[in-house]
Structure 1
Amino acid sequence: MGKQEKRKRSGDDSDGEDGPSTSGKEATVGMRTSHIKNKLVRSEMYAKLRSKDKKKKKAERTKRQKEDEKAMKSGLEPPPRKQQKTIENMRVKDETMVTADDEEVAADEEQDEFSEHFARVRPPKVLLTTCYKPSKIMYTFLSEMLEVLPHAEYYKRGGFPLKKIVQFASNRDFTDLVVFNEDSKEINGMLLVHLPDGPTARFRLSSLVLGKDIKGHGRATEHKPELVLNNFGTRIGRRVGRMFASLFAQDPAFRGRRVVTFHNQRDFIFFRHHRYIFEEKEKRITGAAAVKKPGEKTPAPSKQNVVQARLQELGPQFTLKLESIQKGTFDSTGGEFEWLKTRKMEAKRKFFL
């Protein structure tokens, strides 16, 4: 059976160029061949169009490279490149993005639950605890978190419900309560309660790597760490960032060179704990930077000692995903939510932090 007969039987006499409408979007090869019913014809057409697209992209790339070279030789700026599509620039941004000079937000934050912390009136004092029956890996993780948070203390959970623990921590002037949860010996959740009046944030915890499992890791000193918060740009994001900041002192000891980072990307919060390392290394200098001696036509290569900085990871490292923010302290039944993640939110392809 020839190709013409196969196409007739498949109900398609076209060459696959005119597939189903894509509502103004650039049709992919799969879209342009999905209407062909015959599997063999569809596979042949897919391969043909795929090869054609590759040749077209190669020709465009070669043309662009030649234009760039021509512009560089002429001393001109190369033509602007087409912006690459990424998840970040394709998703819808939240309308509550905060600018640096937003007076309304600044006024609200001067009177919120964290204002005393940022005014250095109430230094941090953090209570760490766990689920009812923690495993060995939880205790290892807690020992590393106690190094991350110099102002933290660990209390065994025992059989006490969370409401009792919140009351216990408030009565002893703790500023924050952090509860880590695990399931089947896998740490998978974190509850953060700011005391005494809230709010309460619940996070899903994943991708945990303990410091002892990181190649070339170091040990933390007792110095207060510097805190870095990246990309918390919305109203909810700033609130979450202020909750994290309330766990750390406002007067970091820079001499210790410790840095704790919460980096938000696509609403995933990456936690890292590093230390700056400054090393003096010998660097070979050539070309115009080298020193030209008398009688030399071209400067000879020389060596010079330079100080280079690098980061040494201390650990642990993990990823957080915000599940909810509740007004007040923990209340599993009658609590009012400021923000609650739903499946519909994920479907909208929108950032919230």
Structure 2
Amino acid sequence: MSGTTMAEYEAALKIHLKIKSLDDDDLWEGFDWDETDKILSGEIKPKTLITTYLFGYTRQKPQKGTLIAEEMLSVFPNSKYMNRRRNSELGQVIKFAKKKGFTSLILAHTNNLGNDEIRIINLLNGASASFIFIELVPRIDIPNCAKPPSRRYPRLHVRGFDSPASVGTARMIQSLFPKVPHSRRPSRLRSIAWLEQQRNHVFFRHHRLCSEEVIGGERSSVSTQPQECGPRFTLKLMGVDRVSLDTGNMKLIGAADPDGG
């Protein structure tokens, strides 16, 4: 505490105590989810703008923001990539996105520690979640990678988000997918996206059903097997912020434990 007065130390401590743990039940309280819930119910179709951070250069690791953005385009339906200008502030990007009717904004980059990262900003209520990629396998690196059915939204399966905090995290990601009516029978005309949480990690997989001819003796039959569409990735939530939809300024709500919790 050298060089710091007791009053300054206590003030800093009070500020620190306002930062929630990412496991707090009330992590996502204070955000208005009414419009977002209309996406989940199918009343509103989501539209996502994907771009990169303004400053994301690191000498230690190659910058992969554009690659990440391209992979995310294949994940989230109704998404569009925008090449961000060097002098464009976040507030300007948000205003542009809202004017064009986008409901979410995704920023991608490789941070100064060399971690690949995305930030999802809900343009309906200002909620923001930042994630690092624990693993990211691009489609080109997946053997026999299948192409998702065109003009068909994937059916999203979500599981493992049981706590109030994780439900909010799932809601942020679910709001990037259009609502697809439930069906008991899987269809070759529609792919399936899997979103599962285990031990504070979010796993994403994407498959479609493909038919192949099976020859046995004098007879042949058609077998339907799941085939991965990619990309394959694992995310870890690092922070939750409130973003001003007018200025782009952020206020930290919750952060991961710096010791790895």
* 2:207 aligned partner: 274
Change (3 A) 1:127 1:113: same
Residue 120 of structure 2 corresponds to residue 227 of structure 1? no
1:335 aligns to what SS in structure 2? strand
Q: Which amino acid aligns with 2:49?
A: L
Instruction: Count residues in correspondence.
Output: 223
Question: Matches of 2:174 and 2:118 in 1, distance apart?
Answer: 16
Structure 1 vs Structure 2: percent identity of aligned residues?
A: 27
**Which of 1 and 2 has greater Rg?**
1
1:131 to 32, 53, 61: 53
Q: Which amino acid aligns with 2:162?
A: G
In 2: Cα distance, 1:150 partner to 1:164 partner: 24
Q: How is 1:15-94 mapped onto 2 (pairs within 5 angstroms)?
A: none
Work out the CA distance in 2 between the residues paired with 1:277 and 1:328: 42
- Give the SS at the match of 1:114: helix
How far apart are residue 163 of structure 1 and its match?
2.3
Deviation at 1:334, TM superposition (A): 5.7
Gaps of 5+ in 1: 1-93, 97-107, 285-302, 347-353
Match of 2:191 among 227, 249, 258: 258
Query: Who is 1:169 aligned against?
Result: 97
Residues 64 and 110, structure 2, Cα contact 8 Å, conserved in 1: no
In the alignment, which residue of structure 1 is the partner of 2:170?
241
Q: RCO (CA 8 Å, sep 6+): is it higher in 1 or 2?
A: 2
Which residue pairs with 1:343 in the alignment? 258
Q: CA deviation at 1:133?
A: 6.8
Between the aligned partners of 1:136 and 1:310, the Cα distance in structure 2 is 36
Aligned mate of 1:151, from 78, 82, 85: 78
Q: Which residue of 2 aligns with 1:205?
A: 133
Q: TM-score, normalised by structure 1?
A: 0.54
| Separation of aligned partners in 1, 2:162 and 2:209 | 27
* 2:238 aligned with 1:316: no
Distance 1:334 1:277, change over 3 A: closer
Q: Counterparts in 2 of 1:324-335, with a 5 A limit?
A: 324-329=239-244, 335=251
The letter for the 2-side match of 1:233 is D
1:281 CA drift (Å): 3.1
State the distance in 1 between where 2:189 and 2:141 align: 23
SS at match of 2:130: strand
Select the structure that is richer in strand: 2
* In 1, Cα distance between equivalents of 2:66 and 2:165: 31
Distance in 2, matches of 1:185 and 1:276, equals: 39
Tell whether the 8 Å contact from 2:128 to 2:241 is kept in structure 1 after alignment. Answer: yes
Stretches of structure 2 lacking an aligned partner (at least 5 in a row): 1-22, 57-61
Letter in 2 for 1:155: M
| Inter-partner Cα distance in structure 1 for 2:64 and 2:31 | 38
Cα distance in structure 2, aligned partners of 1:239 and 1:132: 27
